[in-house]
Structure 1
């Protein structure tokens, strides 16, 4: 970001002195120099730097967002953040004036700015968005005065991005070594159906609800589910495939094909298939998750916890602990395919 020429904040570039600036700091993938006398406020989503002159009702604000997983293009990420971070905060008077994209450490950087009004104040807002394969982060600058132009310009020149994570041939970030384990592999969830409880113990039926992810090294995945419930006359089977990207503890799952079908039961046997009846209302759904890979010493195995913070079509009804999957030791699926099924 430091090589971007900033004509967006002001009409001219002025000489900058760095003597009043503190030591360089790092937040997530962005390093910066905090201007002397500015306040700093951190939270889970990002960091805000600000200074205010109450006497003149003037201010300057910088927001650095925490990097998130994204499969979108650099232009799409800029447009999305412009709507959310700028237009969602102040009234923008025009479309942003754009600068030529630049590249730094494997990131594509897009910047643009426009005038805004905020109650009785008028000012200038500038957005810088950095994108690599599977990840995006942004910096927003807002000010209603030229009073802090030296600090803002020096701050922008101090910005640096960490080197982008290496990706595979198809630009998918495919591994995460949290807990000493990679996300690549087969992950399964097998919930047994219960009819109720007796003396505090669950009363299991023959039914089950199974889901599994197969994350491949080439950045593609398959997902399948099978619901065999004693409470229903039919079996639900669904399958989808697509691509995924991982950065840090974020994963984006992007399906490109798939469907769900209802099948009849045969002899009420949980291992037998009847006939295909009709198509279900299963829908393909792109979703972002935070994830964690945990090692369980009791089972000597790893668990994958996916947390979309909402219900998803593929995972089911959300709970605050997320959706849990267990790594398959053998690599063998727990779901049998219906007759004639092809991936």
Structure 2
């Protein structure tokens, strides 16, 4: 999993995808193949589970909201409210350096935590700009989702102007 983490920022900055893009807020992405989608007003949740092994991967794309004023404050707020509190752990994230994508600053952090006795990786990408923020949280408890995570992050991009609705299918994707 550690090798996986170091490949995310360059992938996010450089790859483009030729598949049909979905969007939510400022985040444009290709929906992960084989994942189910649950759509709520403030978050899109893509999930995939292996019921035989209990392995899972969840991708949460949160709505564009007012920011805290700077990328680090936005990241800390998202980490606290979208990762630590809902999943009940206190680990501090290992951070990557701040980067820029089409005028939006973004920070990437990750931590491992124990989910019912299973080591689980939490990843958070937080985009900040124009006094707004949007985040993507990924949780996975198995290396079997490595390519799904890499493909999703590799497909992710931001638009300069925010979009308020998501496009695409209503119940499943892939």
TM-score, normalization: structure 1? Answer: 0.42
**Secondary structure at the counterpart of residue 29 of structure 1:** strand
**RMSD value over aligned CA atoms?**
2.2
Residue in structure 2 matching 1:147, options 144, 149, 161 = 144
Larger of the two Rg values belongs to structure: 1
Residue in structure 2 matching 1:127, options 124, 129, 137 = 124
Unaligned runs of 5+ in 2: 12-17, 165-174
Asked whether 1:11 is paired with 2:8, we answer no
Asked whether 1:108 is paired with 2:105, we answer yes
**Secondary structure at the counterpart of residue 149 of structure 1:** helix
**Secondary structure at the counterpart of residue 86 of structure 2:** coil
Structure 2 CA distance, aligned partners of 1:99 and 1:112? Answer: 6
TM-score, normalization: structure 2? Answer: 0.81
* Cα deviation code 1:188-243 (max 9, x no counterpart): xxxxxxxxxxxxxxxxxxxxxxxxxxxxxxxxxxxxxxxxxxxxxxxxxxxxxxxx
Report the CA distance between 1:92 and its aligned residue.
3.1
Report the CA distance between 1:88 and its aligned residue.
1.1
Report the CA distance between 1:22 and its aligned residue.
5.5
Report the CA distance between 1:109 and its aligned residue.
0.1
Structure 2 CA distance, aligned partners of 1:47 and 1:106? Answer: 24
Structure 2 CA distance, aligned partners of 1:72 and 1:159? Answer: 23
Counterparts in 2 of 1:137 and 1:149: CA distance versus 1, 3 Å: same
Is contact 1:127-1:138 (8 Å) kept?
Answer: yes
Report the CA distance between 1:73 and its aligned residue.
1.1
Is contact 2:36-2:48 (8 Å) kept?
Answer: yes
Is contact 1:49-1:62 (8 Å) kept?
Answer: yes
**Secondary structure at the counterpart of residue 147 of structure 1:** helix
**Secondary structure at the counterpart of residue 91 of structure 2:** coil
If each structure's strand is expressed as a fraction of its own residues, which one has the higher value?
Answer: 1
In structure 2, the partner of 1:87 is 84
By relative contact order (CA 8 Å, sep 6+), the higher-ranking structure is 2
Which portions of structure 1, spanning 4 or more consecutive aligned residues, are displaced by more than 6 angstroms? none
Asked whether 1:43 is paired with 2:34, we answer no
In structure 1, the partner of 2:71 is 74
**Secondary structure at the counterpart of residue 84 of structure 1:** helix
Residue in structure 2 matching 1:159, options 141, 153, 156 = 156
